[in-house]
Structure 1
Amino acid sequence: PDARRKEFGRPKQLLERSPGHHKEFFMACKGEKPRKFSQSNFSYSGPMTANIQLGNLSARAGKKLELNEAGEIISDPKINDLAWREPRLGWGPLEM
């Protein structure tokens, strides 16, 4: 409700506001901002997505999963089969 929102106020701004992902992309291409400028970079989103997928696998297995140093599931090897599959023809790594 508006009354509570007005009472609470706006939170303190901690991050620079994004001008929009299209503009961020072109600014990065032109070298106008340092590489760390983008707030949606893969160094953050990759590990976060992997953790979300591990949560999905854990929910599907119905139990807590244990991982080794390489990130492979050791508590239930059958679950590893759900975590990876061979890419379809034409969608694998590029041959150089």
Structure 2
Amino acid sequence: KVKNAVNFISDFEHMMTEEARRRGCDGVVCGHIHKAEMREINGVLYCNDGDWVESLTALAEDFDGKLHLIHWRNRLSSPMNLGGILEELPAADSLPA
């Protein structure tokens, strides 16, 4: 079952990036597949924000238009304490959008 799930996710990622390429898009943004990541697949940017409940990850765009994958798990003093969230913004993984 695990191998089937891994194959399904890989097929989904490649199918989405190929469709983006066919339509002339630079990338794909999706979520809820639990592995948060940003990577290029055949020259198309694939972004998945994962899920907030288990992985505490999110995608954010900065003022320069770059997308960042934010990992909050060890950045917040408490998952329920969101006060001062901007001051706790972590250094992010980023790729040009």
TM over 0.5: no
TM superposition score normalised by structure 1: 0.29
Larger proportion of helix: 1
Larger proportion of strand: 2
Bigger Rg over Cα: 1
Specify which structure has the bigger relative contact order, considering alpha-carbon pairs within 8 angstroms and separated by 6 or more residues.
2
TM superposition score normalised by structure 2: 0.28
